[in-house]
């Protein structure tokens, strides 16, 4: 076939070609429009489409329009896997307004929130997974789970959560986000909702299906010498989290009764060891059935980091002189407040490899 077209023939061919390109571009624009449509939107100007489980809920009129005033939990009618959740928040006093996702039930879900009354402090943005009806922020502390941010009072700000697999990004306005590299629950889907402890205002909830997380988070590793498993009295093995903390809320519903857990290890020769323990809320520690430590670590306010009651490695230390043979380390741990129930225990000795003495 002759590829040299007559000039008169090139015009209709060019028109057909242009029409084809226009159709393709129009299709692509339509495709972008479809993809850019939110998965879910709710202006939060009424209680329609809201499942309530709140201590207090009301639609209020503000100078900028209607908004949802919330103290507690509300859920929305969709199953959320990955994507981007945004909502505008107004805090008029101390409160903890946030977003929940991957809701399994009222006892277990992922939760993030901003804390206006500690704006500019290391825990102004908090990841706080709920286990067995309990918040756990005292267990999930440090730069892997908390971030400094400016969280304004008496002015609207935007809280954004992006979820991708087992990773999440939490951002206040356009500030650097907190990136949680591994979500604690490990669920990949569940309901979405809003959450607040003490009253806050919410408006303009939007959920997009497609979103990426480009920022990197901080991996939370175990400290040197951290014990990574414990046993209950009936032989059930309890594994610690990636940060070395035993999250008892994962395994046991809080009750007035303490839980006793055990760890066994064997020494080939006599050793001088140092036991380090961080805990919440109250503990008694026994070595070979003899008490060696007791203490309490609870929330006392925001005067400094120690007053938060965070579980941190080596909060308390005990020096030990042990003979060769098998030893039992036992801890009775009691919960007194719903902010996290657990501990982290390390065993170390000077100039020795800890792996030599671990069972």
- Range in 46-55, 100-109, 305-314 the model is least confident about: 46-55
Q: Quote the mean pLDDT of the chain.
A: 88
Phi/psi of residue 256, nearest 5 degrees: -70, -10
Residue 155 pLDDT grade (very low, low, confident, very high; cuts 50, 70, 90): very high
Residue 53 pLDDT grade (very low, low, confident, very high; cuts 50, 70, 90): confident
Q: Domains along the chain? A: 40-208 (2.60.120.560), 229-356 (2.60.120)
Q: Please state, in angstroms and rounded to a whole number, the distance separating the CA atoms of residues 26 and 29.
A: 5
Q: What is the mean pLDDT of residues 79-98?
A: 97
Output the furthest CA–CA distance in the chain (Å, rounded): 103
For residue 106, what are the CA distances in angstroms to 54, 101, 193?
11, 12, 11
Give residue-wise pLDDT tens across range 241-288. 999 999 999 999 988 899 999 999 999 999 999 999 999 999 999 999
How many CA atoms, within 13 angstroms, populate the side-chain half-sphere of residue 289?
Answer: 1
Residue 54 pLDDT grade (very low, low, confident, very high; cuts 50, 70, 90): confident
Residue 350 pLDDT grade (very low, low, confident, very high; cuts 50, 70, 90): low
Whether omega for the bond prior to residue 202 falls within 30 degrees of 0, making it cis, is no
Give residue-wise pLDDT tens across range 30-42. 334 344 688 999 9
Q: Which two tokens stand for residue 87?
A: 């909502």
Contacts of 151 (CB under 8 A, 6+ apart): 91, 114, 115, 116, 118, 119, 124, 125, 157, 172
Give residue-wise pLDDT tens across range 124-134. 999 999 999 99
| Confidence at residue 210, expressed as pLDDT on a 0 to 100 scale | 78
Q: What is the mean pLDDT of residues 50-63?
A: 89
Q: What percent of the chain has pLDDT over 70?
A: 87
């Amino acid at each position: 076939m002759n590829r040299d077209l007559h000039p008169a023939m090139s015009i209709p061919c060019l028109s057909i070609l242009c029409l084809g390109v226009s159709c393709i571009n129009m299709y692509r624009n339509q495709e972008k429009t479809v993809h850019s449509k939110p998965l879910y939107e709710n202006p939060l100007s009424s209680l329609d489409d809201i499942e309530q489980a709140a201590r207090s809920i009301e639609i209020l009129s503000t100078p900028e329009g209607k908004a949802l005033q919330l103290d507690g939990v509300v859920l929305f009618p969709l199953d959320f896997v990955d994507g981007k959740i945004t909502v505008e928040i107004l805090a008029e006093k101390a409160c903890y307004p946030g977003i929940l996702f991957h809701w399994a039930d009222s006892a277990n879900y992922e939760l993030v929130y901003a804390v206006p009354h500690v704006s500019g402090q290391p825990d102004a943005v908090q990841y706080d997974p709920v286990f067995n009806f309990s918040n756990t922020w005292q267990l999930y502390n440090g730069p892997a789970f908390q971030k400094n941010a400016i969280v304004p009072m008496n002015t609207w700000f935007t809280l954004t959560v992006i979820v991708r697999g087992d990773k999440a990004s939490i951002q206040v306005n356009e500030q650097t986000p907190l990136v949680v590299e591994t979500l604690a629950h490990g669920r990949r889907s569940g309901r979405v909702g809003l959450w607040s402890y003490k009253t806050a205002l919410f408006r303009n909830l939007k959920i997009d299906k497609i979103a990426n997380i480009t920022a990197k988070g901080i991996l939370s590793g175990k400290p040197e010498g951290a014990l990574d498993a414990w046993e209950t009295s009936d032989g059930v093995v309890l594994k610690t989290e990636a940060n070395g903390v035993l999250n008892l809320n994962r395994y046991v519903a809080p009750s007035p009764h303490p839980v006793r857990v055990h760890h066994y290890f064997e020494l080939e020769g006599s050793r001088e060891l140092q036991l380090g323990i961080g805990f919440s809320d109250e503990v008694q520690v026994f070595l070979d059935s003899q008490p060696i430590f007791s203490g309490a670590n609870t929330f006392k306010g925001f005067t400094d980091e120690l007053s938060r009651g965070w579980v941190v490695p080596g909060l308390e230390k005990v020096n030990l002189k042990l003979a060769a043979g098998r030893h039992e380390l036992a801890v009775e741990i009691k919960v007194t407040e719903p902010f996290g129930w657990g501990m982290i225990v390390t065993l170390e000795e000077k100039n020795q490899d800890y792996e030599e003495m671990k069972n």
